[in-house]
Amino acid sequence: MIVAMFPGQGAQAVGMGEGLAREHEVARRVFEEADDVLGWSVSELCFTGPIERLTATDVCQPALLTASVAAFRVAVEAGLAPALVMGHSLGEYSALVAAGSLPFADGLRLVAERGSAMRAAAQVSPGAMAALLGPSDDDARALAAEAGEAWPANYNCPGQVVVSGSDAAIDRLMELASERGVRAARLVVDGPFHSPLVAPAAERLRPALEAWDPAPPTPPFLSTTTCDVEPPERLRAVLLDQLTSPVRFGDAVTAAIALGATRMVEVGPGRVLSGLVKRVRRDLPTQQIGEPADVAAIGASA
């Protein structure tokens, strides 16, 4: 069973989607639609940057959605037929567009509002995120609690937990990690996402999500918040809870394996998710679809 998985913030890179749009009409149409719907040039930002602007939450989110959907539509033309979709944080919106539950234009508007809401919440309650490398989930939770206003935000795979919190708490977390011999790395993000500090973003996003009438995802959608296959009537609540709840990507990969996953295909920019999958199950085949050179291999594995 092939599972398509879609990346979240952190996967952005200048040039993403440019090759696919140049060589595949279906990808070019995706970028053109995004430019028209949003009223600004997503394509120019993705193709030429600058990276400082591309990393800003309010523009990064629709840009990543666009690049991921473009890659998915190219992959489908080349023969990809996933039996399940999933995504990391923002990637859940890409997954739901891919599954036909969320129209692309509506998804663009939703993630534009989501990104703006998250950025505004982070300006009111500034914060940061840092990855702890090596400790168990329990030890990571203990370090976060000791740091103060900090919470686990991403359980990415065994030995990698991202913590989100106030600037002071993340500073303290980095000090504690150094004292305890735990490797830690700050993430290039502009807010304390997946934490109670961004709760105002959930309230701002609620009306937009409630106005969406989800179609049944085809193929089914596996949430990385709940680690369950979610029906359409649950999707609005799942995406709302996602903003302040931890992403449990490693557990979701385990759930996909239990459902019969035999190949995980990362659709969109980067290769971060494939690396996390290998930390969960080393012998599970992975594949990336983000560049023109990746497309030729789809038919053989689809």
Tokens coding 125: 């309650």
Once rounded to an integer, what is the mean pLDDT over residues 263-291?
96
Tokens coding 252: 């979701």
Mention every residue, 6+ apart, whose C-beta is less than 8 A from residue 193: 9, 89, 118, 122, 129, 153, 164, 243
pLDDT of residue 188: 81
Q: How much is the mean pLDDT over the chain?
A: 95
pLDDT of residue 20: 97
CA distances, 249 to each of 63, 86, 223, 256, 274 (Å):
22, 9, 9, 10, 11
Q: Which residues pair with 183 in a beta bridge?
A: 133
In which band, very low, low, confident or very high, does the pLDDT at 296 lie, cut at 50, 70 and 90? confident
Once rounded to an integer, what is the mean pLDDT over residues 222-241?
97
Share of the chain above pLDDT 70, in %: 99
Distance, in Å, from the CA atom of 8 to the CA atom of 243, rounded to the nearest integer, reads 13
Give the DSSP letter of residue 183: E
56 three-class SS? coil
Given a cut of 60, is residue 257 above it in pLDDT? yes
* Domains of the chain in sequence order: 2-123+196-301 (3.40.366.10), 127-186 (3.30.70.250)
Closest CA to 146 of 124, 165, 161: 165
pLDDT of residue 98: 98
| 68-124 tens-digit pLDDT | 999 999 999 999 999 999 999 999 999 999 999 999 999 999 999 999 999 999 999
In which band, very low, low, confident or very high, does the pLDDT at 189 lie, cut at 50, 70 and 90? confident
pLDDT of residue 167: 95
Given a cut of 60, is residue 300 above it in pLDDT? no
Distance, in Å, from the CA atom of 219 to the CA atom of 96, rounded to the nearest integer, reads 9
Once rounded to an integer, what is the mean pLDDT over residues 39-51?
96
pLDDT of residue 299: 63
Share of the chain above pLDDT 90, in %: 94
**pTM given for the model:** 0.96
Once rounded to an integer, what is the mean pLDDT over residues 282-288?
96
pLDDT of residue 301: 55
Closest CA to 92 of 116, 113, 64, 119: 64
The set of catalytic residues is 89, 194
Phi, psi of 62 (to 5 degrees): -65, -30
Mention every residue, 6+ apart, whose C-beta is less than 8 A from residue 293: none
Do the beta carbons of residue 70 and residue 27 sit within 8 Å? Answer: yes
137 three-class SS? helix
| 138-162 tens-digit pLDDT | 999 999 999 999 999 999 999 999 9
Once rounded to an integer, what is the mean pLDDT over residues 29-45?
97
